[in-house]
Amino acid sequence: MTRRPEAHLVLSDGTSFEGEAAGSLLDGGIVTGEAVFNTALSGYQEVITDPSYAGQVVAFTYPHIGNYGVTSLDAESAATHLDGIIVRDLPPLHSSWRAEGSLEDFLIDRGVGAITGIDTRRLTRHLRDAGAMPCAFGTGGLDAVSAAAATAEGTDGKDLASTVSTTAPYTVGSGSLRVVALDLGIKTTIVRHLSSFATVTVVPSATTADEILALDPDGIFLSNGPGDPGALGAVVSTVADLVGTRPLLGICLGHQVLAEALGGRTYKLPFGHHGSNHPVMNLATGHVEITAQNHNYAVEAGTIPGAQVTHINLNDEVIEGISVPSARAVSVQHHPEAGPGPHDAVYLFDEFARAMAEKGER
């Protein structure tokens, strides 16, 4: 492979890194977004196609990204919504019996800019200490990239869910149970889990409570998604009107939205949780579940009247799950569907199915 063009990465606080252009950045230009780091050792394609990363530039802490190529089977959405990726090394060759192509070609086809050759250990340590922050990377020279970094924006106060949500309802599966999924940035793996036991109608984030109930669901699902839950006032109001009407399950952003609908507050974490090995304590069983996580915001403890805390993150005691038994509402901050990650928490889908079945028996 010919030598890659020189590129620079600059954080909004002025910290700079030298690297080389990759992906769609090979054609030049500058990429901006909020820099976060992901600690998963594999699953880079799932991360890159996860709508929850809209507005962000993802730095992978694992040094070799692209070793096993890409396959359509691992895509979490039909499009890519993140702003770019940062890697230490992007191998020129890949090897896997499942591979349908290289990561680099995938990035080029999807228009995703990347920068390689970055000291991602130094970058991760800096973001860990200083917090997630806007950044820019590109081939326009250090001065141009620095100027772009100075005006780059983060995710605070932004409704990014509406930018990744479906624009029209669609239905998946053929189960006897009926689920309406409010799409705030839903992942394909979540739809796959739900459709294994239900007929799932995925609706846009702007769908009203009356429109959802008119579909006569047995259960309502609130999906994951990107951005600041504090910017989703209309969605929060919709969910407040839905609580108690049907069994309800929320994941990630859906968890935060449910908490706000119940009167709780959310806040931004210093650098978020992004990875596939976060220990979570199930307070009901005492079991420790290793979970996949991808969120920048969390629910503030002690702000949700009437809700029980069901799960706690053992790294920093962030609330990882809540329940309102009287309203048949449950939500978790982590990702029981994994994709990528462990399956310790997948039982939550079975519990949701049982709650809907019990509703139907009454």
Omega into 226 within 30° of 0, i.e. cis? no
The answer to whether 337 is a known catalytic residue is: yes
The answer to whether 273 is a known catalytic residue is: no
Separation between Cα atoms, residue 202 and residue 183, nearest integer Å: 6
> Which of 20, 34, 260, 337 does the annotation list as catalytic?
337
38 close to 145: Cβ distance less than 8 angstroms = no
> Which of 46, 252, 274, 311 does the annotation list as catalytic?
252
The answer to whether 135 is a known catalytic residue is: no
Q: H/E element holding 16?
A: strand 16-23
Separation between Cα atoms, residue 116 and residue 103, nearest integer Å: 13
Separation between Cα atoms, residue 216 and residue 239, nearest integer Å: 16
Q: What are residue 83's phi and psi, to 5 degrees?
A: -90, -25
Separation between Cα atoms, residue 174 and residue 260, nearest integer Å: 32
Give pairs for 141-149: CB < 8 Å, separation 24+: 141/8, 142/8, 142/10, 142/16, 144/30, 145/7, 145/8, 145/9, 145/10, 145/16, 145/30, 146/8, 146/10, 146/14, 146/16, 148/10, 148/30, 148/32, 149/10, 149/11, 149/12, 149/14, 149/32
User: Which tokens sit at 167?
Assistant: 């624009």
| First-residue to last-residue Cα distance in the chain | 66
- What is the set of active-site residues? 252, 335, 337
